[in-house]
Amino acid sequence: METCKTRGIITRRADYGESNCMLTILTENLGVISACAYGVRSRRSKMKAGTQLLCCGDFVLSRKNSEIYRVDAVEIVDAFYPVCEDIVKLSLANYLCELSREMYGDGDERILTLLLNTLYALAYKDENPVLAKAVFEVKLAQYAGYEPCMDSCIGCGEKEDLSAFDFSGGVKCSSCRESADINISDGVYRSIRYILEAEERKIFSFTVSEEIKKDLSLLAEGYILNKSERTYKSLDYFKKML
């Protein structure tokens, strides 16, 4: 029997058997894991609160000849209740969790921290969901090794006149621009640079106009979808909730 302790956040939760739950946990030390929490749907379970969706905690896990862990105990760090109680924020959180699992690979602690900081901003700072999503998508791309090139045109290296953005890699000058590229305004350009360069705890410390927010959101989403090479049902659901 192998046992371990790790911090993590529950990013997916499904009923399993009569009173159990199957959890997908993004962990600090073990990457993305599946873990069964036995008996937690019964009223008397001591682990009921600690095995809810979005619960971040210190998990004690064990496993025997299996890919799937068993949750033996959990100490709650933060349950992000205000997010769980707001359907728009909760649907966004589901998308952020799905994206994080997809991009987590062998586990990069910065991605876990980014997810927790974003949920914190949504829960306790009342951060705007559309802006929070855009910031998360840009920063996640950077942490996952897909930082967009913002310094010079990805076609010719020109450093001036960077008015277009190509979802495959970054900015372009007007001579290299192709029909699939989108416009990038000064405000959106500066916002992306800020997000890429800011320290983690300051990534939400900027304000933008409604127009820039909308354009930034389009760009960030197009870019991360291009890099992850798939679509997300949770993203479609979030957009319906807006």
Closer by beta carbon to Zn ion, 143 or else 165 = 165
**Cα distances (angstroms) measured from residue 107 to each of 32, 95, 110, 127:** 7, 18, 9, 26
Decide if 204 contacts 122 (C-beta within 8 A).
no
How many whole angstroms separate alpha carbon 221 and alpha carbon 133?
Answer: 8
Q: How many residues does the chain have?
A: 242
CB of residue 230 to Zn ion, shortest distance in Å: 29
Q: 2 Cβ partners below 8 Å, 6+ apart?
A: 62, 63, 64
Closer by beta carbon to Zn ion, 25 or else 173 = 173
CB of residue 181 to Zn ion, shortest distance in Å: 11
How many whole angstroms separate alpha carbon 42 and alpha carbon 46?
Answer: 9
CB of residue 171 to Zn ion, shortest distance in Å: 9
- Nearest partner of 103 among 226, 14, 240, judged by Cα: 226
CB of residue 80 to Zn ion, shortest distance in Å: 44
Q: 39 Cβ partners below 8 Å, 6+ apart?
A: 19, 20, 45, 47
Closer by beta carbon to Zn ion, 102 or else 181 = 181
Closer by beta carbon to Zn ion, 162 or else 188 = 162
CB of residue 183 to Zn ion, shortest distance in Å: 15
How many whole angstroms separate alpha carbon 9 and alpha carbon 53?
Answer: 8
Closer by beta carbon to Zn ion, 29 or else 174 = 174
Q: Which stretches of the chain bind Zn ion, using CB under 5 A? A: 153, 155-156, 158, 173, 176
What are 166's strand-pairing partners? 170
- Which of helix, strand or coil describes residue 66? coil
Closer by beta carbon to Zn ion, 148 or else 155 = 155
CB of residue 173 to Zn ion, shortest distance in Å: 4
